[in-house]
């Protein structure tokens, strides 16, 4: 007698050419102890419905493309296991897989992340130099201590889980959001970079760090330990100092102008 355990997997479907609304499709998936949620989707695609669309690439928490809402929580499909949803482990032998929250749905489990990518690009995520030295032999040295200042922030894999977890981004898509602001701080902390003055207006902007209400869910769900909540809230201090420095400059200029006019 076949006693293989079947797990009830509900997958959100949405094919814009035929569906008015997203809907849940149910599958019974034979359980294997080493099965990730991504393996579960592969099983469904191979054995049940080949039209299911979802993103993935590396299967090892590196590419950042397999982010889904799994029972309502943003997680990487390749780093989350079906066994965690069994009754023996506190679940109920069922799991619901949906596209990342707070983004429009492109198709089935594929979220449209253009806005997220535009925000990452907007903060100028590269080393900026006042004068580019293009000689092939030139290097920009960095000590291990200098690298340690931003190393944790550089672990981001752009998976977007922090945006799906952030209630502020959910309410207001204009907010730069956790990963972009953490990435901004990553480059500002890099001793080889000289682009701080170009990035500070974005950090100080209405939709920059001050739009964060410090819920902290972004850091809870981050699969790489980036801690964007900490990055954003320490940047508030930098933003305050920057404001003070700009104010002193402005007052001095104003003073000099008044004396010149006397």
Site of interaction with ligand FES (CB under 6 A): 56-59, 61-66, 76-78
Contact of residue 153 among ligand SF4, ligand FES, none (CB under 5-8 Å per partner type): none
Contact 222, 162 (CB under 8 A): yes
Q: Is 222 in the site for ligand SF4 (CB under 6 A)?
A: yes
Binding window for ligand SF4 (CB under 6 A); candidates: 43-51, 94-102, 143-151, 178-186: 178-186
Min CB(45)–ligand FES separation in Å: 14
Binding residue for ligand SF4 (CB under 6 A) from 179, 181, 202, 232?
179
CB-side neighbour CA atoms (13 Å) of 22: 17
Contact of residue 161 among ligand FES, ligand SF4, none (CB under 5-8 Å per partner type): ligand SF4
Question: What does the DSSP assignment read for 17-79?
Answer: TT-SS-EEEEEEEE--TT-BHHHHHHHHHHHT-TT-------SSSSS---EEEETTEEEEGGG
Binding window for ligand SF4 (CB under 6 A); candidates: 82-90, 158-166, 204-212, 248-256: 158-166
| Tokens (6 digits) for 245 | 């420095």
* Binding positions for ligand SF4, 226-245, rule CB under 6 A: 226, 228
CB-side neighbour CA atoms (13 Å) of 74: 24
Which residues, 6 or more positions from 69, have their beta carbon under 8 angstroms from its beta carbon? Answer: 75, 96, 97, 98, 99, 100, 101, 164
Residues engaged in binding ligand SF4 (CB under 6 A): 156-162, 178-179, 182, 221-222, 224, 226, 228
């Amino acid at each position: 007698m076949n006693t293989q355990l079947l797990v009830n997997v509900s997958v959100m479907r949405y094919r814009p050419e035929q569906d008015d609304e997203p809907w849940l499709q149910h599958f019974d998936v034979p359980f294997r102890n080493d099965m990730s949620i991504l393996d579960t989707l592969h099983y469904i695609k191979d054995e049940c419905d080949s039209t299911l669309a979802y993103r993935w690439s590396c299967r090892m928490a590196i590419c950042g493309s397999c982010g889904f809402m799994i029972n309502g929580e943003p997680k990487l499909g390749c780093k989350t296991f079906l066994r965690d949803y069994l009754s023996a482990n506190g679940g109920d032998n069922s799991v619901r897989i949906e596209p990342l929250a707070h983004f429009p749905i492109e198709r089935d489990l594929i979220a449209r992340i253009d806005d997220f990518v535009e925000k990452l690009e907007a903060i100028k995520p590269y080393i900026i130099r006042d004068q580019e030295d293009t000689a092939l032999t030139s290097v920009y040295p960095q000590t291990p201590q200098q690298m340690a200042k931003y190393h944790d922030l550089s672990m981001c894999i752009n998976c977007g889980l922090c945006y799906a977890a952030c209630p502020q981004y959910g309410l207001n898509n204009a907010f730069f959001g956790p990963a972009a602001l953490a990435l901004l701080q990553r480059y500002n902390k890099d001793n080889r970079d000289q682009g701080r003055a170009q990035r500070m207006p974005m950090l100080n902007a209405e939709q920059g760090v001050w739009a964060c209400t410090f819920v902290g869910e972004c850091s809870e769900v981050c699969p790489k330990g980036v801690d964007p909540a900490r990055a954003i809230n320490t940047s508030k201090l930098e933003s305050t100092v920057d404001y003070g420095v700009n104010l002193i400059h402005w007052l001095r200029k104003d003073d000099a102008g008044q004396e010149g006019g006397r």
